[in-house]
Amino acid sequence: MSPANKMKRITILKAALKLFAEQGFHAAPMAQLAEQANVGVGSIYRYYKDKEELIETLYEEVDEALQVAIIEGVDPTQSTRKQFLHLIINLTHFLKDHPHEFKFLEQYYHSPYGIDKKREKLLLDNTAGRQSPFIKIFFNKSSKDIKRLPVPVLHALAFGPILFLIRDAMAGLVELDETVIIQVADGCWDAIRNRAGS
Amino acid sequence: MSPANKMKRITILKAALKLFAEQGFHAAPMAQLAEQANVGVGSIYRYYKDKEELIETLYEEVDEALQVAIIEGVDPTQSTRKQFLHLIINLTHFLKDHPHEFKFLEQYYHSPYGIDKKREKLLLDNTAGRQSPFIKIFFNKSSKDIKRLPVPVLHALAFGPILFLIRDAMAGLVELDETVIIQVADGCWDAIRNRAGS
Amino acid sequence: MSPANKMKRITILKAALKLFAEQGFHAAPMAQLAEQANVGVGSIYRYYKDKEELIETLYEEVDEALQVAIIEGVDPTQSTRKQFLHLIINLTHFLKDHPHEFKFLEQYYHSPYGIDKKREKLLLDNTAGRQSPFIKIFFNKSSKDIKRLPVPVLHALAFGPILFLIRDAMAGLVELDETVIIQVADGCWDAIRNRAGS
Amino acid sequence: MSPANKMKRITILKAALKLFAEQGFHAAPMAQLAEQANVGVGSIYRYYKDKEELIETLYEEVDEALQVAIIEGVDPTQSTRKQFLHLIINLTHFLKDHPHEFKFLEQYYHSPYGIDKKREKLLLDNTAGRQSPFIKIFFNKSSKDIKRLPVPVLHALAFGPILFLIRDAMAGLVELDETVIIQVADGCWDAIRNRAGS
DNA sequence: AATGAATGAGACTTCATTCAT
DNA sequence: TATGAATGAAGTCTCATTCAT
């Protein structure tokens, strides 16, 4: 594919991200998307078979970016706690700085779009593959530092709060400054760490 | 309103809950809803101005039921921890036992339906009103037992994990038995409690 | 179905017959059909799942009418030749008097719509069922009067010419008056009859 | 036009014939045609003003080939009957051996593409020109051997049956072997020949 | 001359909402 | 009051045709 083509693909994807985030999949007509992307309606269909494929592709793209952002700068030689905090902070910053991506992902996961199909795939191979760059490495060496709990439970304890909070932040209910982020991360750490003498 | 009317309102609402949960708002035509509810399409419009109002009303109903279920049997004379565990368990059971309600709420919150409009309203007066039956009471006496953190942060630490986990459970990724629930609740408690000497 | 409904079904069918005959299936948009039938576009879809079902229904309807018209007044006690001529004349009159029906059928059979599916069904059970009211009766007693040939061949010899000619007549190339019809019918009879002493 | 151009014209035409025969005019996008012909879409438009012109041209080509094939080997010195049988056999073989051509012609004639415009032109100057190579010569000397009937009627009697039958053969309803062909041709001959003493 | 990406009119179909019965 | 047939705006997608390269 030529660079020009690639560029148009991306233009469309970007416009879609914004539009879908702002209006939702269903309330975003292809015509409007075409307009925002400054292309003809038909052109979208050169690059994506249909609306669904566009959404799937967008999801893949966004998810990829998220995964990359999350592990950025995490240093495996540091303490588990340090790494954990780093992850949480990365995640939070990425989502705060990319509200469109955040809203899109929220919709994607929670609308019965590919809800079962996608979540299942996603989370299933979380345990053993894809997203794992960080999850797996992190939880694998967990023996000592982290509670011996089923991975999904650790997962929930570790990431549930911050995701919950980011939603509130998006809605303007909290100011997610560094202090708060650290507080939450600390809380999460408390939730999963293996407290020796307690 | 006559009892007969009231009954029909409820019939419609029940059918809507099921349909919306199973298919999503957008994929659930009013005609199908009418069919499921065994009423004429036109009748729905006697009780609800339009589809949106129906959804809003349904949300209110479901939310109310959830609030009630959550505080059921919580005893203010018990220890904060006990009360907290009780809340979490109530919440989990309700959502596990009412998957339609759960799916509906997920959609409602995460689709840009009333996302801003609604969440804002909802969470804003959380702090000082509606939902508070349990939140407020609970956090107000928090001085000693619970970390001194902004309420939304506590909120996130307390409820984020279990909500996260319930989603996984719905998708069939985890078995949410009593043991797991307790584990999570304990984890959450660890996240928010004020550990005296640590 | 109420009489009013039935009436609208028929109104639509009639408009469709005219439109399809004049413009062809593909060149006849549903919107135009709706206009001609004086109904809303959406209404068509109350009665017919989609354009294809409409076409199929129309075909069934037209075919039925044709079958009925063909055997009208045919008297089994008359000579085979008389009956044959009667059939041909009925057929010719019906198609001449119903040019829309004729054009529609031509299209239906010869466009790769249900070409294989339909023709097969049609012609296959011609031999032994449906259309047979006349075909079967006619060819079954054929032993003496009619050549011993495979049925499809007799079929072709008997009806090929008149169908061919009707097309020319529709195009204005021949005037299909009684004389000509009789001439053709006679020719066909000559083609299939068993000439004793020749 | 250069030989190379001529070749490309023909390549396109061949691909079109196949595609139109298999899918029908309407279901055969220009893009797919280009692909099959191994040319760019734009190139098609260098040779043909638009889709319609392409179809018309194709029709002309196919018709020409058919005319040529039909008279091949017909010997004017033979008896009228022999010549007639020869014609029928030629026609049948050509169409049997060129199913794409056959399907294309069927569509072309029976869809309101150029139905009136084309058939009229075609058949009109049949009487006095174009196609006549065989028709005219054949029917002109007909005085004695053949019934005195309007040419279109003779036409119908002579060719109607075999065309009818070929359709059935294409649909797999009859096996068109030499025997059957001869039977039909004989039947047709019976239909048009002037039986002396009858 | 050849290409094929781009276009947008227009096709089919759905569905929230109305209104005559 | 209850109904559901009728409506048409709006959505998704296709495809003949053009035009910059």
* pLDDT bucket at D20, cuts 50 / 70 / 90: very high
Closest-CA residue of chain A to B174: A152
pLDDT computed for residue C43 by the predictor: 97
Report yes or no: D184 and C157 within 8 Å, Cβ to Cβ: yes
Token readout for B125 is 């007066």
Protein CA A9 to sugar C1' F7 (Å): 39
Query: Is the CB of A29 less than 7 A from some atom of nucleic acid strand F?
Result: yes
Report yes or no: C184 and D147 within 8 Å, Cβ to Cβ: no
- Per-residue CA distances from A52 to A48, B20, B111, D3, D75 (Å): 8, 20, 17, 47, 66
Residues facing residue D45 across a β-bridge: none
Which of A20, A111, A121, A162 is the best substitution to test chain B (most B C-beta atoms within 10 A)?
A111
Contact (CB<8Å) C165/D153: yes
Closest-CA residue of chain B to A182: B153
Chain C residue numbers with beta carbons less than 8 Å from the beta carbon of D107 are 110-112
Judged by C1' against the alpha carbon of B29, the nearest nucleotide is E15
pLDDT computed for residue B74 by the predictor: 85
Token readout for C107 is 């299209």
**Which of C93, C7, C96, C21 lies closest to C58, judged by CA?**
C21
3-state secondary structure chain A: CCHHHHHHHHHHHHHHHHHHHHHCCCCCCHHHHHHHHCCCHHHHHHHCCCHHHHHHHHHHHHHHHHHHHHHCCCCCCCCHHHHHHHHHHHHHHHHHHCHHHHHHHHHHHHCCCCHHHHHHHHHHHHHHCCCHHHHHHHHHHHHCCECCCCHHHHHHHHHHHHHHHHHHHHCCCCCCCHHHHHHHHHHHHHHHECCCCC
Query: What is the largest distance, in Å, between two alpha-carbon atoms of chain B?
Result: 65
Protein CA D45 to sugar C1' F17 (Å): 9
Taking 50 as the threshold, does the pLDDT of residue C139 lie above it?
A: yes
Q: What is the pLDDT of residues A94-124, one digit of tens each?
A: 999 999 999 999 888 887 665 554 455 444 4
Protein CA B42 to sugar C1' E18 (Å): 9
Report yes or no: A165 and A174 within 8 Å, Cβ to Cβ: yes
CA distance D16 to D100: 10
CATH topology for C1-48 is Arc Repressor Mutant, subunit A (1.10.10)
How close is the nearest chain B Cα to the Cα of A166, in Å? 9
**Which of B67, B138, B120, B134 lies closest to A174, judged by CA?**
B120
Any idea which residue has 């089994």 for tokens? C76
pLDDT-wise least confident of D103-117, D146-160, D168-182: D103-117
Any idea which residue has 């899918």 for tokens? D23
Chain D residue numbers with beta carbons less than 8 Å from the beta carbon of C120 are 171-173
**Which of C95, C34, C112, C12 lies closest to D108, judged by CA?**
C112
CA distance B35 to B15: 9
- Domain spans of chain C? 1-48, 58-192
pLDDT computed for residue D198 by the predictor: 45
Protein CA D42 to sugar C1' F19 (Å): 10
Q: What is the pLDDT of residues A80-92, one digit of tens each?
A: 888 888 988 999 9
* pLDDT bucket at C17, cuts 50 / 70 / 90: very high
Query: Is the CB of D42 less than 7 A from some atom of nucleic acid strand F?
Result: yes
Q: Spell out the CATH class of A58-192.
A: mainly alpha
Closest-CA residue of chain B to A174: B152
Any idea which residue has 């008297």 for tokens? C75
Contact (CB<8Å) C163/D160: yes
Tell me the HSE value of A80 on the side-chain side, using a 13 A CA sphere.
Answer: 20
Contact (CB<8Å) A112/B24: yes
Q: C115-128 and C99-110 helices cross at what angle (nearest 10)?
A: 110
Closest-CA residue of chain A to B154: A184
Q: Which residue is nearest to nucleotide E19 (CA to C1')?
A: B42
Nucleotides of F under 7 A from a protein CB: 1-20
Which one of C150, C173, C184 has the shortest CB-CB distance to D174? C150
Please tell me whether residue B146 adopts helix, strand or coil conformation.
strand
Q: What is the pLDDT of residues B13-23, one digit of tens each?
A: 999 999 999 99
Chain A residue numbers with beta carbons less than 8 Å from the beta carbon of B115 are 103, 171
pTM to 2 decimal places: 0.89
pLDDT-wise least confident of A22-36, A40-54, D122-136: D122-136
Phi and psi dihedrals of D40, rounded to 5? -75, 155
Judged by C1' against the alpha carbon of C4, the nearest nucleotide is F5
Mean pLDDT of all residues in B159-168: 89
Query: Is the CB of C113 less than 7 A from some atom of nucleic acid strand F?
Result: no
Chain A residue numbers with beta carbons less than 8 Å from the beta carbon of B119 are 167, 171
Mean pLDDT of all residues in B26-49: 97
* pLDDT bucket at A130, cuts 50 / 70 / 90: very low
Instruction: Choose from B71-85, C118-132, C136-150 the range with maximum mean pLDDT.
Output: B71-85
Chain D residue numbers with beta carbons less than 8 Å from the beta carbon of C84 are none
Protein CA A40 to sugar C1' F12 (Å): 14
Chains C, D: CB pairs < 8 Å: 143
**Which of B55, B67, B65 lies closest to B28, judged by CA?**
B55
Chains A, B: CB pairs < 8 Å: 141
- Per-residue CA distances from B125 to B89, B122, D162 (Å): 24, 6, 85
Contact (CB<8Å) A153/B27: no
Contact (CB<8Å) B155/A164: yes
Same fold, B1-48 and B58-192: no
Mean pLDDT of all residues in B84-106: 92
CA distance A3 to A24: 30
Protein CA D31 to sugar C1' E4 (Å): 9
Q: What is the pLDDT of residues C52-82, one digit of tens each?
A: 999 999 999 998 999 889 889 988 888 888 8
Report yes or no: A164 and B161 within 8 Å, Cβ to Cβ: no
pLDDT computed for residue A135 by the predictor: 57
Token readout for A67 is 């995964």
Closest-CA residue of chain B to A190: B191
pLDDT computed for residue A128 by the predictor: 47
Taking 70 as the threshold, does the pLDDT of residue D162 lie above it?
A: yes
Token readout for B192 is 């928010």
Protein CA B31 to sugar C1' F2 (Å): 15
Which one of C109, C116, C171 has the shortest CB-CB distance to D120? C171
Chain D residue numbers with beta carbons less than 8 Å from the beta carbon of C188 are 157, 191
Which one of A109, A124, A190 has the shortest CB-CB distance to B173? A124
Nucleotides of E under 7 A from a protein CB: 1-20
Report yes or no: D94 and D69 within 8 Å, Cβ to Cβ: yes
Contact (CB<8Å) B112/A22: yes
Please tell me whether residue C193 adopts helix, strand or coil conformation.
strand
